[in-house]
Amino acid sequence: MGHNRYMKYLVTLLFCSVILANQAQIISKQETLNTSAFPKYDDYANYHKTKGLDSFYDPKIDYSKFSGRVSDKADNSTIIKIQVESLNSKFFKASDPLKFWVAKKRNEDPCSGNIRAVEKGFITLYVKNLYPCWGPSYSFRRGTILIFQSDRLAKRIQAASRYRVALLAKKRDFIYQLNRVNKFVWGFRQEQVEVAAKYDKQILEIQKNKEQALALLLGKKKDQIRVQKELVYRLDELDQDLGFYRVEKDELYTDRWHLDQDLGIPVYKRPTALKTN
């Protein structure tokens, strides 16, 4: 008896220790995530804040200034083709004004020009006068390094950065929608099986209810047939009893008066007249 009690206590103790050990080893997915490192909504760039995640715009950089090298020119030196180092020159548009200096003469007054055409890595300028930045020289030599400044380009780059932020937000929305669509497409087979199983279950329940309803209807029919037979039998008995207990209304006729006379029963001297009604 004491040995059985000791074994029961030992088994209970081992079972509890196993449960506690399993609970101690379980680590939820939420515990492994460092949520403090996740980007917040304010960390992303937006329309009012161009600097942030998903944006390459840096307010510390002066985007109005860039450099280039003369690669070609017209005979009259009013049309100059410049090879630029800044890839942001793609935001220029025709007729945009800009100023430029010769790299070796930064202290001189700038020359003014207008954008004539924009190509990848090149811009074409229309320059009316080179005297302020180049002096009496007639034209630039090929390879001359120029320093450009355009406030309109800086504003256009800032606007482009804001528009890029809007495009990135739209891209995130499309990626989120695509993720949901991919999740549905990749899990279509499983979803199809689950939907089919759901409706199969409902069909089985409907068939079961149908069979139960039909069984109840058949049982009710049998009961009604028995009640019908019983009611017919009772009606027949009632007809017999009604026939038996019917009280007949007898009338005294002339032949009955003669019979009473023959039997010596005291009756009236004349027979009662027959009723015509």
Is the pLDDT at 24 greater than 70? The verdict is: no
Tokens representing residue 105 in the block: 């003469």
- SS3 assignment, position 150: coil
Q: Are 149 and 110 in contact (CB under 8 A)?
A: yes
pLDDT tens-digit profile of 174-207? 988 999 899 888 888 888 999 999 999 999 999 9
What is the overall mean pLDDT for the chain? 78
- Regarding predicted confidence, which is higher, 205 or 59? 205
Is the pLDDT at 2 greater than 60? The verdict is: no
Q: What local confidence, expressed as pLDDT, does residue 50 receive?
A: 57
pLDDT tens-digit profile of 120-152? 989 999 988 888 888 777 778 888 889 999 999
Structural domain spans, the chain: 65-160, 202-247
- Regarding predicted confidence, which is higher, 189 or 266? 189
Question: Longest C-alpha distance within the chain, in Å?
Answer: 184
Tokens representing residue 28 in the block: 């939820």
Most confident of 10-19, 72-81, 105-114, 191-200: 191-200
Where does 65-160 sit in CATH, by number?
2.40.30.20
- Compute the distance between CA of residue 210 and CA of residue 198 in angstroms, rounded to an integer: 18
The DSSP code for 41 is G
Question: Whole-model pTM?
Answer: 0.52
